[in-house]
Structures are given as structure tokens and as C-alpha cells.
Amino acid sequence: MADGNGYFAADADLDDEAARLRLIEQGSDPGTFQRLVRLGVTAGWRCLEVGAGAGSVAAWLSDQVGPTGHVVAVDIDTRHLDWLTAQNVTVRAHDIVANDLETHDYDLVHCRAVVEHLHDPERAMDQMASALRSGGWLMTEGADFGQYRSVNERHPLALVFDSVMSRTFSFIKDAHIFDPFIAKFLPRLLEDAGLEHIEVEMDTTAVQGGEPMAVMFETSWQRFDPVLTARGILTEAEAAVRHEAHHDPTFAFRSGAVAAWGRHREVRL
């Protein structure tokens, strides 16, 4: 588990991380694709997918922009992107904070579940905004873990679950592993990067134990268990309750998400 300036899953087993990324795609892709359609992604667009993960969004964009468009998929770890072989897709290893992007080159820049993992999100947002052509769109999406709690406080697992997750997120935030609460500030980050026509969607859904997103989250949080139990933040029994809750179809918890997008100032000649 990375700490400080590294991605928390950087040292995860390759197959385990691929499975986790696929679960994220299964739960998040439908909403992402609907929003990108509304932005008008179409044939001929040049798109940049930042933090491309396992590649589903880059592949979808490839289909939308067609042979006259192009998609650049970047990530610090490109091992999950080997299957992207379409002629209009380029896969590139890239650190969005440390490495510069080409400027004024893209009609769309998109990232999902990226900003919360960056030690300098302001620089990353500036980089992505600068990569846009006149009139281009930047869309960023992330989870709002401030809403992560049981739906029914009377459920036998609810009290321990809520307490465990609150302590877990406090640890993650204080240890600078990632920022579980930055998603609500995405509109401000877009504005600070100089974008216009900013819009935001905030969504809260009820996730039941055993659903793909519940399993994905449990796969994520259990990676913190060794350090949490070693430091006395959680007990093994409490971690077991959280595991049970994420797999129990009678248990449900709230999951919050934020999507925000803005447009590069359009220059009229």
C-alpha cells in the first residue's frame, strides 16, 4: 500500500487490481458514457483519457471518434491497457503531475477516480485545462466518501460499519494516502484552472452488499487492514464486520459521486 505521494494500489497483485478496475468500470461506465454523450463527443474529436485504468472509457471514446479522431490513453501504469489495439488509440505512460502535456491539442480531456489520488491536484487540473483546444471540454469524476454510510442505521451491521468507515477515511486522509473528500471541490478546481460554463452533477446511490461496487470497495478497503489493525485503529473483528456488510445483500450503504465539467474559453477569430 502506497503512502504519501504514491497510488495506494501501486503494489497490488496485477490480476487482483485488474479485477478491481473492471468492477469500477461495471459500476461507473454507464453514467460516464451518458455524460460524455451530452457533451457531444463525436467523430473526429481528439480525446485524452487521464488515468485510463483498465481502458473501458478509452475504448468507448475510440468508437465514438472513429477513424478521423484519436484517443490518447495515459496512466502511470499501462499494464492494464495492452488490449487497446485500435489504430486510433495511443497508450502512453504518463504522470499527470510530474510530466507536461501537449497544449491546445484536445477537444476533450476526461479523468475518473484520479484527482483524489494526486498530491498536487491543482497542477494536474491546470495541465489538463491547458491541453484543451479552444472550446474543448474537461470532465472529471470522483467518489464523495463523505456520504459513505449505512442506509438503515437499525441494521445489525450498521453501527460498526459506519464507525469503521469513518475511522478508515480519517486515517487515509491524515496519512496523505489519498483525499476521500476532494470530489466536492471539483467544480472549484475547474474554475481555478480558468474553465468556463462549469456544470456539476452530484449523485447518491444505495449500494447493496454483494453488488459489484460493494465488492470493489471491500477489495479496496481490505488493503488497509494490516496497517489499521497494527496501529489499533480497527480490530480484526471490526474489519470482519465491514467485510460481511459489503457482501450481505440485506445491507445497503450510501455511495456518493461527483461529476464536474467545464469548457476552455472559445477563441473567435
Residue for grid cell 510530474: 98
Cβ contacts of 84 within 8 Å, gap of 6 or more: 55, 58, 59, 62, 73, 91
Question: Could you tell me the pLDDT band of residue 149, with boundaries at 50, 70 and 90?
Answer: very high
Asked if 50 contacts 113 with a C-beta cutoff of 8 angstroms, the reply is no
pLDDT tens-digit readout, 151-186: 999 999 999 999 999 999 999 999 999 999 999 999
How large is the average pLDDT for residues 198-219? Answer: 95
Closest CA to 253 of 181, 149, 161: 149
For the cut 50, the answer to whether the pLDDT of residue 17 exceeds it is yes
Question: Could you tell me the pLDDT band of residue 195, with boundaries at 50, 70 and 90?
Answer: very high
**pLDDT score at 16:** 87
**pLDDT score at 15:** 87
pLDDT tens-digit readout, 66-112: 999 999 999 999 999 999 999 999 999 999 999 999 999 999 999 99
Handedness of CA 95, 73, 90, 17 (dihedral sign): positive
In this structure, the chain runs to a length of: 269
Q: What is the DSSP letter of 117?
A: G
Going from N- to C-terminal start, the domains of the chain cover 14-263
pLDDT tens-digit readout, 39-62: 999 999 999 999 999 999 999 999
Handedness of CA 223, 125, 120, 143 (dihedral sign): negative
Longest dimension (CA), the chain: 66
Fold of 14-263: Rossmann fold (3.40.50)
Question: Could you tell me the pLDDT band of residue 6, with boundaries at 50, 70 and 90?
Answer: low
For the chain, give the mean pLDDT: 94
With 0.85 as the threshold, say if the pTM is over it.
yes
Cell output for 264? 476552455
**pLDDT score at 1:** 46
How large is the average pLDDT for residues 126-144? Answer: 97
pLDDT tens-digit readout, 240-254: 999 999 999 999 999
**pLDDT score at 86:** 98
Beta strands at 70-75 and 89-93: parallel, antiparallel or unpaired:
parallel
**pLDDT score at 2:** 47
For the cut 90, the answer to whether the pLDDT of residue 11 exceeds it is no
